[in-house]
Structure 1
Amino acid sequence: MPATDAQDTKWKGSRDAWLDAAFELLLESGVGSVRILPLAKRLKVSRTSFYWFFKDREALLDALIERWREKNTQGLIRQAEAYADSIVEAILNVFDCWLDPQLFDSQLEFAIRSWALQSDEVAQQIDAADDARIEALTRMFEARGFDSLAANARGRTIYLTQIGYITMKTDEALEVRMRRIPAYVEIFTGQAPQTHELRRFHARHGYAPGQGAQEGD
């Protein structure tokens, strides 16, 4: 009898499952550990089932890069281009990326940047992504009346600050980060956020001021 869809999936896994497992190994042990047999064992599927989804290991690695590009680069660009009534709201749209892994996956970003230290090809992909992201942030400021130089400097400052958070693996409680958000907004835009702007931002992330640990605890 032919296998059912459920039986077929159990035997082969799925493309996303292979990619998820590859990302986990990349994060845990580096790109050298991302190999077909360890992935098959992790997924508890046949090694040969890999070839239902990928031509070879290089195709899997290319798919990891594509997932990162779509998730993080396009995710950040979409947020920078999202509708906003003011530059403050525009910045808060971008800040959504740093708090919502569905928009921007910081763990994936760290893993790809670590991989780039061993691969000139991946490093080139990083350079291209950095340029595209900073350009999107620059356009965001220019669209709201900032001159080109100021727009680029502000965009670069926002972006490099967050990449610093990621590469340093900064662990910051939500309460602490949220308390710092108004100061970051004012530094980056020259304008203090209004109460209603912060309320909308907080609501998007299910945050109520005063919850959680206090800074310095």
Structure 2
Amino acid sequence: MNSLPPSRPRASDQMWLDAALEMLIEAGVDAVKVMPLAKRLGLTRTGFYHHFRDRDALLDAMVRCWEEKNTGNLVARCEAYAETICEAMFNLQDCWIDPTLFDAELDNAIRHWARSEPLLKTRLDEADARRKAAVSAMFQRFGYSGEDAEIRTMAILYTQAGYISMEIEEDPVGRIDRVPAYVELFTGQTPSKAEIERFRSRNGY
């Protein structure tokens, strides 16, 4: 009995989108083209057009994915329930630990892309403004003045942006161990043992 040839994977919008995002991170936006994507997926070039009108539609979907994941999750973590500012900061720190909440490599790739694309630069500026507003509001919720909240917000976000752009690699355990010190640095308050343990536990440490 002859064996059947291996079947191609059933294509989906998400499959094309995920491959495009991987290519963006690896080689930049100029590398995101239909034929190389089809080859990577083992699909036909014409199949792409059953999912996206054209390459521009795919690029727009990529930007929306980044906005929803990175900015959307960051805002949600800032707004998550917390009884203290330290607990709120641990909620935000989850973004830097859990790649399902915040994709640092994608954020870096989008920033590189925006340098040569004015419309994307506008959307990036809008995303950064949303992030700043969310972090500042988190501090003000716990009684920090507007000016104090703004300074702490800039310290947090600019530190993380530098961390991402420098592509720093750290031992995961060492990084987790340092988070309580960051929380104290950014809030001016010492987190409790229970707050530290809850953070470590939900992140698998």
Secondary structure of the residue aligned to 1:10 is coil
Q: Unaligned 5+ residue runs, structure 2?
A: 1-6
Instruction: Report what 2:3 is aligned to.
Output: none
Instruction: Report what 2:34 is aligned to.
Output: 36
Give the C-alpha shift of residue 179 in structure 1. Answer: 2.3
After superposition, give the CA deviation of every residue in 1:66-98 in whole Å (9 maximum; x if it has no partner): 000000000000000000010000000000000
- Using the alignment, how far apart are the partners of 1:42 and 1:197 within structure 2? 44
- Using the alignment, how far apart are the partners of 2:167 and 2:183 within structure 1? 22
Structure 1 residue 10 and structure 2 residue 5: aligned? no
Give the C-alpha shift of residue 203 in structure 1. Answer: 0.1
For residues 1-217 of structure 1, the aligned pairs below 5 Å read 10=9, 13-207=11-205
CA root-mean-square deviation: 1.2
After superposition, give the CA deviation of every residue in 1:158-197 in whole Å (9 maximum; x if it has no partner): 1111111111111111122122212211111010111110
- Using the alignment, how far apart are the partners of 1:86 and 1:157 within structure 2? 19
Matched-pair identity in %: 47
Aligned residue pairs total 199
Instruction: Report what 1:213 is aligned to.
Output: none
Q: Which has the higher contact order (CA 8 A, sep 6+)?
A: 2
Q: Name the TM-score, length of structure 1 as normaliser.
A: 0.89
Q: Unaligned 5+ residue runs, structure 1?
A: 1-6, 208-217
- Using the alignment, how far apart are the partners of 1:40 and 1:178 within structure 2? 39
- Using the alignment, how far apart are the partners of 2:28 and 2:176 within structure 1? 32
- Using the alignment, how far apart are the partners of 1:172 and 1:128 within structure 2? 30
